[in-house]
Every structure is written in structure tokens, then in C-alpha cells.
A = this chain, B = another copy of it.
Amino acid sequence: MKPKKFSLTKISKYLKKPWTPITIARVDDYILNIAKFENNYHWHRHDKDELFIVLKGKIKIKTRKGNIILNKNEGVTIPKNVEHCPVAIKSSIVLMFEDSKLK
């Protein structure tokens, strides 16, 4: 069976509830998630790195060292153990790439 493709545009339409990622692809033990961001998430940290890429909208990732503003087609890796707080400046669609066992 040939590998099954995904469409970011189609999956984006299924995202109703904010901050609730859907896993759209796997790469070994890593996953590609997509989520809707709206309003504020909360301060937290992980034991592994986390990559964000904004597909639509505009977000701010607050860190204790300063804020990172991400427009459409911009991204950043938040290193492991770095406390951060994602905030949607506009309603946004965001890709996240991370270890499937991320805590």
C-alpha cells in the first residue's frame, strides 16, 4: 500500500476546539500536530523541544526571556525546559512537531 497523504487545508477545517491538537503525521517517534489557537494557553514547559509553525493567523509565544511574535509562515523551536505561554493574537492554525511522548 502506498503511503497516505494529508492536506493541511482540509484538516484545518476539522479544527473546532482550540488548543486541541490533531496528529496528522508520524516520523519515527515524532508527531506532526495541528491545532487551532484562540485566546491564551497557560505557562508550561516540556522535557523535549517543541517546534511551532504558523499556517494561518498570528500568535505570540511568551517566554521568561521575551516574547516571540509569529506571523503566517513563521516558526520557532522552544527548547526543552524553557517555560512558555502561547497566546493567539488572532485565531490561528499552528503546526507543532514534537516527540510523541512529550510531557
Contact = CB atoms under 8 A, between A and B. Distances in A.
How many copies of the chain does the oligomer comprise?
2
Interface in A27-80: 27-28, 30, 32, 48-51, 53, 61, 63, 65-70, 73-80
Interface residues of A, number: 41
B25 A51 contact: yes
A interface majority secondary structure: strand
Nearest to A61: B3
Nearest to A24: B75
A76 B4 contact: yes
Given A2-B66, A63-B2, A65-B1, A74 B7 contact: yes
Given A2-B66, A3-B63, A99 B28 contact: yes
B74 A3 contact: no
Given A2-B66, A2-B67, A25-B51, 14 more contacts: A1-B65, A3-B63, A3-B77, A3-B82, A5-B68, A5-B70, A5-B75, A6-B76, A8-B74, A25-B76, A26-B77, A27-B77, A27-B97, A32-B51
